[in-house]
Chains A and B, each alone.
Chain A
């Protein structure tokens, strides 16, 4: 019975997602070359993706700022972000250092110096059983992008395991991996790579 309910929920959420996604086609009002982030004035989540039939995008490829430059690909441009992150469109990581766990290359092992960060966050969560965190796993840019998604999840799961061992309920934790898609540092050097191999504890 429980399985049936779960399946129904899954199907329902799938259908919901499908309808959300399909509203994305060709509904954008913007016709000039100025690209603005869509935010909903009523406070509902702004639509995040717009699809276009081939050849019918309102702006040409060259109208988009894809130069990279100093702004990070992973830095949200303004709206659409959740509280605590991406407020002003500033580049760089905006999650504070006491909510970031760093990792060695090719590793998901929790380092000793990360234990206090995990313990402090676990304590806050056991003190407030209604709090929920999303553990966001990240990797540096080296290697296969999809394999890095798997590595990022492995890192986030390692932090989850450490937190549940400290008494946090699994129900309080969600895990998502962004792999190398949302770097905190843009450089192609060991220092940047070290900053990018991380799990962000996001509330």
Chain B
């Protein structure tokens, strides 16, 4: 309904200004009304491929919040045309062209793919267009992992960034939680309660091979990969209360990094090797930072009465977290450079934030469904996934 109103408004203004130089005016009008979105006309791809490539590209670009996809032939700053025809060595030849308003070609490429790769190619094209026009890397070709449960089972699932193509990589009759991607995107660490006790498992996503890396008495929780992929930080309570440990994956001996008579948990690494984590050492859960080897902890959060589950943007500038005020839980972000603290969501039971690999979006859960929000709060997206879904983690760029 909202977009219908927008369209009518834009159309009325378009008609009002007539044909003279309307392309440029449309840009301004469109931005003025919608507040965001570069108009880009996307024509249906010729050739009769089973996948609607144009629709996938339009959906991908719309989700970024930076583009307002239009149907083919519409007046727009940019246009995308292409075709996907049977042929080539692998089954399909997909070609596309991105042109500017004056018809000048900005991008033109051809892909030789099997029919099973038509959708991934559409995502690839979306990312090529996005990067060409914004200068940033896109997210359409990335993946997410999440946990879902029901009927006595827990599933660990890897899906495309638009929530499509969900693949079960672990099924258990005991809880699964806290998945964390290795920096190269090839492995997931997570907590599994098989055997009715928590342990930290590392699973190779593409072979399915698994290895238990921690099964100490008490909590084994909140695994997080170091930026170099060689170490894991996690929580153990074997010494009496939850503390942060780091384990060199080539060794068997985790090194303890905190010592407080309080809950210390949910460690995540920053690019410089320091860690942020949740601690209630001050009375309420708040986010703290320690150096690569531990040492004195610096408190980072002072807003609200509960800040937990921190996650770092890939460049280390932002910490997103679960934030409670007035009894409601929100996703908030702290800018470590300016110290600005910003609440990003409208609140409820928001939890489990995770940054996209380009640092622009944060995926999170309300315990039932997944949502994403841009780091400035301006762009919001819902994921429509079957079942109850939580614990989302956005995969890094990688393989």
A residues contacting B by CB (< 8 A) are 10-11, 13-14, 17-18, 20-22, 24-26, 35, 37-38, 45-46, 48-57, 59-62, 64-69, 71, 73-80, 82, 89, 134, 141-147, 149-151, 153-154, 175-179, 181-182, 188
Binds A, one of B21-29, B84-92, B122-130, B151-159: B151-159
Q: Which of B173, B192, B207 contacts A76 (CB 8 A)?
A: B173
> B148 on the interface (CB 8 Å rule)?
yes
Known: A52-B170, A146-B266, A176-B196. A68 touches B219 (CB 8 A): no
A182 touching B175, Cβ below 8 Å:
yes
Query: A129 to B269, alpha carbons, bound, how many Å?
Result: 46
Write the residues of chain B forming the contact surface with A, with a CB cutoff of 8 angstroms.
Answer: 148-155, 157-159, 166-175, 177-178, 192-199, 201, 203, 205-212, 215-216, 218-219, 221-222, 235, 237, 242, 252, 263, 265-266, 278, 285, 306, 308-309, 322, 324, 329, 349, 351-352, 367-368, 386-391
Verify A64–B153 contact, CB threshold 8 A. yes
Question: Do B219 and A153 touch across chains, with their CB atoms under 8 A apart?
Answer: yes
Given A61-B386, A153-B218, CB of A181 within 8 Å of CB of B157: no
Can you identify 27 A-B contacts, CB atoms within 8 angstroms?
Answer: A18-B212, A21-B192, A22-B209, A25-B208, A37-B152, A48-B194, A49-B170, A49-B172, A52-B167, A54-B167, A54-B205, A54-B208, A57-B168, A57-B171, A68-B387, A76-B152, A78-B152, A82-B196, A143-B322, A143-B324, A149-B219, A150-B219, A150-B265, A153-B218, A154-B263, A176-B198, A177-B219
By a CB distance below 8 angstroms, the chain A residues around B215 are 13-14, 17
Taking a contact as CB atoms under 8 Å apart, the answer to whether A14 and B212 are in contact is yes
> A51-B210, A150-B235 given as contacts; is B309 within 8 A of A69 (CB)?
no
Q: Are B198 and A55 in contact (CB under 8 A)?
A: no
**When the two chains form their complex, are residues A153 and B237 in contact, meaning their CB atoms are under 8 A apart?**
yes
Inter-chain contacts of B168 with A (CB < 8 A)? 52, 57, 59-61, 64
Interface of B is mostly: strand
A149 to chain B: which residues have CB within 8 Å? 177, 198, 219, 221-222, 235, 265
Q: Lowest 4 CB-CB distances: which A-B pairs, in order?
A: A77-B152, A66-B387, A65-B151, A49-B172
* B387, A52: Cβ atoms closer than 8 Å: no
Q: Point out which of B157, B196, B205, B309 has the most chain A C-beta atoms below 10 A from its C-beta.
A: B196
Q: Is the interface of A mostly helix, strand, loop or mixed?
A: loop
Q: Are A144 and B322 in contact (CB under 8 A)?
A: yes
Nearest chain B residue, comparing its CB with the CB of A37: B173
Q: Give the CA-CA distance A141 to B203 in the complex, in Å.
A: 27
Cα of A179 to Cα of B351 in the assembled complex, Å: 14
> B367 touching A141 by the CB < 8 A rule?
yes
Which B residues are CB-close (under 8 A) to A153?
Answer: 218-219, 237, 242
The answer to whether A146 touches B178 (Cβ under 8 A) is yes
Minimum distance in angstroms from B211 CB to a CB of chain A: 6
Most buried by B among A56, A61, A69, A71: A61
A11–B252 CB distance below 8 A: yes
A143 CA / B196 CA spacing, docked (Å): 23
Say which residue of A22, A48, A144 sits within 8 Å of B308 (CB atoms): A144
Alpha-carbon gap, A22 to B209, bound state (A): 6
Q: How far is the CA of A159 from the CA of B195 in the complex (A)?
A: 22
* Chain B residue, CB-CB nearest to A176: B197
Residues of B within 8 A of A52 (CB): 167-171, 208
